[in-house]
Amino acid sequence: MGILDIMRISVASLNANQTAMSVVSHNVANMNTVGYSRQESVMSPAIPREDSGLLLGMGVELDSIQNVEDRFIAYNLTMSYQDLGFLSVKATGLNQVQEVFNESNDAEGLSAVMNDFWNAWSDLASNPESSSARESLRGTANILINEFNTANTRLKDLADAANMEISYIIDDANAKLDSIAELNVLIRQAELAGTTASDYRSERQQMMQELSTLLDYNYFEDETGMVTITVSGGLPLVESETVNHLELRADATNYGYYNVVAVSSGGQEFDLTDKMDGGEIAGHIAVRDEYIGEMRDKLDELAYTIVQEVNNLHTTGFNLSGATGVNFFAPLASVDGAAGSIQLDAAIETSADNIAASLTGSVGDNQIANQINALSDELTMNGGSATFQDYFSSMVSKVGSEAQNAELAYTHAEAVNSQLYNVRESISGVAIEEEMSNLIRFQQAYQAAARMLNAASQMIDVLNSIE
Amino acid sequence: MRITNNVIFGNTTRYISQNQSEYLKLEEALLTGRRINRPSDDPVGSARSLNVKKTLSALSQLERNLSQAEGFIEQTDLALGNVVDRLQRAIELTTDINGGTSGADEYASAATELDGIIAEVVRNANMKYEDRYIFSGYSTQTQPFDDLGVYSGGLSGEEIDMEIADGQYLTVNMTGDYVFQGGTDVIQTLIDTRDAIASGDQTLIANQLPLLNDALNQILNRQAENGTKSNRIDIAVDDVAALEEAATAILSDVEDVDTVEYSTRFAQQEQALQAAMLVSSRVLSQNFLDFLV
């Protein structure tokens, strides 16, 4: 055991504590880095040396710099972003959809205009000869048509926007898949030597979290430290360094909107469109196909039935020029797209005198006008169980409660997510108080080691001074 | 549990934003005066409000129909009242002349007056309401009677129905053949009377009197029939007003803010928000570094 050993031990201590301080400074620097996991320096006693039957301690060694992380929590947190992404898009989307049918603020919407339309027939019944009642009815019918068209267009615009959004998100998701594959390679290379690639891991976890917001997927890590990302029951998107990208295919049976497919390296395509229930992509698909799709179908059904029922009665009546068999609305070929294509019949467009109010042909006969007005109270919808108004009201109620549920579910998902976030933060987050205490701790150890070195040096001086 | 800076900042902003969103919801309700500002605020209430609005809209239509029907019926009453007057005058004239010792001049002047009465009755039988002949059935643009009392309007059975209550229709018109020719031909009777008086034949004149009385009774009956419709309208008007009041109350119940309740909740929320902000400012300003030299 010599003085040089003391010097060696002191130098090792200086080195170890200096490195520990650099880890502290790295932690502090990344305090606000999203997804960063704090690092810890792990020190242990160096291998002791045997000397004259004594086992002498040889000071400290810095074993490793460790990532402080609970992988189970990290997994749960990462997955919780899928609900959050899905519900956030769904809540925002439904909120916009319900605005199309919002008449709460006394806005003249479809419901109010339908009322005006039926009332106009009643006015005509009071004055079947009057050209002003006819003009007013025709005007009201045009407003009704316009209202249907507008609601239809607004729904279509929202669905189009959701569809565009999907195409942007796919690009983003693909870029993230690429990054994850690249990080896989970096982590494997770094960890071959037996260390932990903490920063790469933090970055990859963060990347997967962001991907979670977009996409419904699952992941697992293999023994080389690389993650495999799978979708829809095992189909891999990232497998070590290989990436199978997501692509879009226009679906002619669904207004030409995009289907989302995963393309394997062999060129095989797997349709994921209806197989995801998390992430923003699935949120936009649900809003586009399920919610807006349903509202468009219902709106079409309503428009179509009004056209059919009014025409059925109208064609049995006589107009002012004595003609019968004239349609009020232009006949529609099918329910599909009715709300967008509803319009007045050309004859009514030409002259309001072609409106048939009379059953017998006499000008003062108002029976058809009365019958058409009475349609508003007849059970014409849902296979004879609802009036037009009932049908529309339940549409509004449905979209309203869907929006309400989505909002509640989002709030809930947010709570779950922030709970998990806090748990992860409490494990992996950087706390200033802790880092500052560590800083002082290592600083003091550093000072003490320097002091040791100083003492050893003085000891050598003492020896050297012996004459 | 380790508490990190991100947890403190994250929690603080989340709590404040939760408070704020609740605060803004209450503010919106108080500013608009409405509980429901979009369907999701109360999905069932929204549907209910739309249904009540439909009811209110239909009721206001019934009001318009009722005033239209009332006008038609009042016009009918006016016309029939005039005819009654004229028939009574005709009966008076005929009675005066009957069995008396009138001279040729008196016969002639009575016949002239009857000509006027006939013209008046025909004029009333051709009465219009808002440009429609009221006694012409569905042929509202065809003058029902010519000067000789020949009827060319729509036949009895041509009923002009107006909706006066939900799904209930009132026939507002009576056809000319039913009113003036159903039983006694009123105008023909007057013409015959005039001819009898002009001829001065006492027997003929005496024969006309019971016919004139029949005619008068017939018109009086029709007028009474028309009068019952007036009653139905009065009742319907009251009903509509009552229903409107009830529907408006329901609508207000569903849609409107209970100001006291909401103001109280608003004040509570405001306090909560202020407390959250105060606490946050204290928590966020705690800094370990301040205590390190």
Question: What residue in B sits closest to A360 (Cα-Cα)?
Answer: B138
Tell me the shortest Cα–Cα distance from B181 to chain A, in angstroms.
21
CA B164 – CA B170 distance, rounded (Å): 6
Name beta bridge partners: B165: B168
CA B213 – CA B260 distance, rounded (Å): 71
Residues in B closer than 8 angstroms to A432, CB to CB, are 5, 287-289
Question: What residue in B sits closest to A118 (Cα-Cα)?
Answer: B58
- Helical segments of B2-141, H only: 5-32, 43-97, 104-125
Question: What residue in A sits closest to B172 (Cα-Cα)?
Answer: A126
Q: Do the Cβ atoms of A327 and A346 come closer than 8 Å?
A: no
Residues in A closer than 8 angstroms to B289, CB to CB, are 432, 436
Residue A162: the pLDDT is 96
CA A104 – CA A117 distance, rounded (Å): 20
Return the number of other C-beta atoms located less than 10 Å from residue A447's C-beta: 12
Q: Which residue has the tokens 């002047």?
A: B109
Contact A421 B10 (CB under 8 A): yes
For residues B30, B33, B37 and B39, what is the CA-based torsion angle, rounded to 10 degrees?
A: 120
pLDDT-based confidence at A1, cuts 50/70/90?
A: low
Partner residue facing B138 (CB), from A32, A362, A394:
A362
Residues in B closer than 8 angstroms to A119, CB to CB, are 57-58, 60-61, 64
Partner residue facing B43 (CB), from A126, A404, A432:
A404
Backbone angles phi, psi at A261, to 5 degrees: -125, 150
User: 3-state DSSP call for residue B107?
Assistant: helix
Question: What residue in B sits closest to A357 (Cα-Cα)?
Answer: B138
Mutate to test the interface with B, among A360, A425, A428, A437 (most CBs of B within 10 A): A425
Partner residue facing A98 (CB), from B40, B131, B166:
B40
The continuous run of DSSP H or E covering B128 comes out as: strand B128-129
Contact B39 A400 (CB under 8 A): yes
Q: Which residues of B223-259 are buried (b: 16+ CB within 10 A; e: fewer)?
A: beebeebeebbeebbebbeebbeebeebbeebbebee
* pTM as predicted: 0.86
Contact A362 B131 (CB under 8 A): no
The alpha carbon of residue A269 and the mean position of all alpha carbons in its chain are separated, in whole angstroms, by 24
Residue B285: the pLDDT is 86
Residues in B closer than 8 angstroms to A118, CB to CB, are 58, 61
Mutate to test the interface with A, among B13, B50, B290 (most CBs of A within 10 A): B50
In this complex, is the C-beta atom of A70 within 8 Å of any C-beta atom belonging to chain B? no
Inter-chain Cβ pairs, chain A and chain B, closer than 8 A: 192
CA B103 – CA A406 distance, rounded (Å): 100
Beta carbons within 8 Å of B18's beta carbon, 6+ residues apart:
none
| Residue numbers of chain B with a pLDDT score lower than 70 | 100
| End-to-end CA gap in chain B | 27
Cα separations in angstroms, A314 against A159, A218, A309, B20, B58: 35, 60, 9, 55, 21
| Tokens matching residue A215 | 């996409």
**How large is the average pLDDT for residues A169-195?**
94
Give me the long-range contacts of A342-347 (CB less than 8 A, separation at least 24). A342/A145, A342/A148, A342/A149, A342/A303, A342/A306, A342/A307, A343/A145, A344/A138, A344/A141, A344/A142, A344/A145
Residues in A closer than 8 angstroms to B46, CB to CB, are 104, 393, 396-397, 400
CA A265 – CA A237 distance, rounded (Å): 10
Contact A396 B34 (CB under 8 A): no
Highest mean pLDDT of the ranges A89-98, A262-271, B92-101, B275-284: A89-98
Question: Given a cut of 60, is residue A108 above it in pLDDT?
Answer: yes
Beta carbons within 8 Å of B143's beta carbon, 6+ residues apart:
B126, B133, B136, B152
User: Residues A322-373: pLDDT tens digits?
Assistant: 999 999 999 999 999 999 999 999 999 999 999 999 999 999 999 999 999 9
Contact A399 B138 (CB under 8 A): no
For residues A338, A343, A348 and A352, what is the CA-based torsion angle, rounded to 10 degrees?
A: 120
Residue A64: the pLDDT is 87
In this complex, is the C-beta atom of A374 within 8 Å of any C-beta atom belonging to chain B? yes
Contact A119 B43 (CB under 8 A): no
Q: Which residue has the tokens 């936009």?
A: A284
User: Residues A392-428: pLDDT tens digits?
Assistant: 999 999 999 999 999 999 999 999 999 999 999 999 9
Question: What residue in B sits closest to A408 (Cα-Cα)?
Answer: B40
Residues in B closer than 8 angstroms to A440, CB to CB, are 292
Partner residue facing B39 (CB), from A31, A396, A434:
A396
Nearest residue to A318 via CA among A285, A255, A362, A280: A362
pLDDT-based confidence at A53, cuts 50/70/90?
A: confident
Partner residue facing A426 (CB), from B4, B154, B162:
B4
Nearest residue to A391 via CA among A304, A287, A449: A304
Nearest residue to A227 via CA among A245, A200, A247: A200
Contact B39 A102 (CB under 8 A): yes
Residue B137: the pLDDT is 94
Beta carbons within 8 Å of B163's beta carbon, 6+ residues apart:
A122, A125, A370, A373, A374, B61, B62, B65, B169
In this complex, is the C-beta atom of A376 within 8 Å of any C-beta atom belonging to chain B? yes
Q: Do the Cβ atoms of B19 and B272 come closer than 8 Å?
A: yes
CA A370 – CA A352 distance, rounded (Å): 17
Tell me the shortest Cα–Cα distance from B60 to chain A, in angstroms.
9
Partner residue facing B6 (CB), from A101, A126, A425:
A425
User: Residues A234-247: pLDDT tens digits?
Assistant: 789 999 899 999 99
Question: What residue in B sits closest to A123 (Cα-Cα)?
Answer: B65
CA A440 – CA B127 distance, rounded (Å): 110
| Tokens matching residue A182 | 């690249």
Nearest residue to A291 via CA among A109, A104, A96: A96
| Tokens matching residue A22 | 């650099």
| Tokens matching residue A179 | 């990054």
How far is it between the farthest Cα atoms of chain B? 142
ipTM: 0.87
CA A452 – CA A424 distance, rounded (Å): 40
CA A197 – CA A190 distance, rounded (Å): 6
Tell me the shortest Cα–Cα distance from A342 to chain B, in angstroms.
22
Tell me the shortest Cα–Cα distance from B99 to chain A, in angstroms.
47
Q: Do the Cβ atoms of A221 and A233 come closer than 8 Å?
A: no
Residues in B closer than 8 angstroms to A367, CB to CB, are 161
The continuous run of DSSP H or E covering B133 comes out as: strand B132-133
Question: What residue in B sits closest to A404 (Cα-Cα)?
Answer: B40
User: Residues A203-219: pLDDT tens digits?
Assistant: 999 999 999 999 999 99
Tell me the shortest Cα–Cα distance from A429 to chain B, in angstroms.
6
CA A18 – CA A20 distance, rounded (Å): 5
Could you give the angle at the alpha carbon of B183 between the alpha carbons of B178 and B188, nearest 5°? 90
Cα separations in angstroms, A178 against A24, A238, A273, B36, B72: 31, 8, 21, 47, 81
